[in-house]
Copies of this chain bind each other. A is one copy, B any other.
Amino acid sequence: MNLKFHGWFTECSPMWPGQAFSLKINKLIFDKKSQYQHIQIYETEKYGRMLVLDGAIQLTERDEASYQEMLAFLPLNSHPNPEKVLVIGGGDGGILREVAKHPAVKEIVMCEIDDHVVAACKEHIPSLASGFSDPRVTLHFGDGMEFLGSHAGKFDVIITDASDPVVPDDDEAGKDGPAATLFNDAFYARLHEKLNPEGVLACQGESMWLHKDLIKGLMKKSRELYPVVEYAYTCTPSYPCGQIGFILCSKNPTLNLRVPVTKWTSEEVKRLKLKYYNTDIHSASFVLPTFMTEFLSSD
């Protein structure tokens, strides 16, 4: 299943069979197998630098803002006072960079399993790294599930910036990736325990064009724990099908995640150097096409 063109990187995965996206490469900058995964950083011809984990594109500099800003500000701007924030995963630093822009945030804890991802991105994709040096940030390396079990504090907002649960393998069906546990029931239950009573959770939620069943299952699981559960999405050309979603949950039954309580003017959006997020797109990102609303509302 491995397609190769000379001078191009091609992404194939059992999670999106029958389709492949390729980017022209200037050079391979970093290539290492860590204890957890195969980490590669490329310089592409048209998409800037690119992080690849186990053969799957995690981000490119050209379009990463569409993911990072939306996954960070959908929950942060829905919460009336997001002082304490936990980020699970996100070792590239992009989510951290955005969370650190939010003026209400006082403390950011990040738990990433793979210190080699952090080190590689800090060195080779510095455009992502500003959050790591923020004095409000505490960085832990370890398994997200174990961290939640041992950490004493609670959070106003938790963001899980996970890679896909299944990664390519020699066999067509693929194998569990290091993020597989971030999609299971026990992990979801622990996230719930670690959220303050008014807390908001935001998780990477896959693409509606590829993984409707997975999304519906995650939302159903979330509804057993939260009174408010929503699905929103963003457009990121370098992700499969050009799109990725987010599952958003609130412990506060009266919170409307679709309408931000923090509304930024276009001057504030400019000052915060936002490329994608704005107050209008916050609400628009919850508006789903007919096939998805019908699928989610069916039994």
Q: Which residues of A contact B (CB under 8 A)?
A: 3, 5, 8, 10, 17-24, 44-47, 63, 65-66, 209, 235, 237, 240-243, 266, 269-270, 274-278, 280-281, 283-284, 287-291, 293-294
Q: How far is the CA of A20 from the CA of B5 in the complex (A)?
A: 11
Does B275 lie within 8 Å of A209, measured CB to CB? no
Does A45 lie within 8 Å of B23, measured CB to CB? no
List 11 additional contacts besides A18-B46, A280-B287, A281-B287; criterion CB under 8 Å.
A3-B5, A5-B5, A17-B46, A19-B21, A19-B23, A20-B21, A20-B22, A22-B22, A235-B235, A237-B243, A242-B242
Q: Specify the chain B residue showing the minimal Cβ separation from A6.
A: B3
Chain B residues within an 8 Å CB radius of A5: 3, 5, 20
Chain B residues within an 8 Å CB radius of A243: 235, 237, 242
Which has the most chain B C-beta neighbours within 10 Å: A21, A240, A270, A284?
A284
Chain B residues within an 8 Å CB radius of A21: 19-22
Chain B residues within an 8 Å CB radius of A65: 291
21 contacts between A and B (CB under 8 A): A5-B5, A5-B20, A17-B24, A17-B45, A18-B44, A18-B45, A18-B46, A19-B23, A19-B24, A19-B47, A19-B237, A20-B23, A65-B291, A235-B235, A235-B243, A278-B289, A278-B290, A278-B293, A281-B288, A283-B284, A283-B287
User: Main SS of chain A's interface residues?
Assistant: mixed
- In the complex this chain forms, how many copies of it are found? 2
Q: How far is the CA of A281 from the CA of B63 in the complex (A)?
A: 23
Q: How far is the CA of A269 from the CA of B269 in the complex (A)?
A: 36
Minimum Cβ distance to chain B for residue A66 (Å): 7
Chain B residues within an 8 Å CB radius of A241: 237, 242
Q: How far is the CA of A10 from the CA of B20 in the complex (A)?
A: 9
Q: How far is the CA of A280 from the CA of B284 in the complex (A)?
A: 9
Does B290 lie within 8 Å of A274, measured CB to CB? yes
Q: How far is the CA of A134 from the CA of B15 in the complex (A)?
A: 41
Does A275 lie within 8 Å of B290, measured CB to CB? yes
Chain B residues within an 8 Å CB radius of A17: 24, 45-46
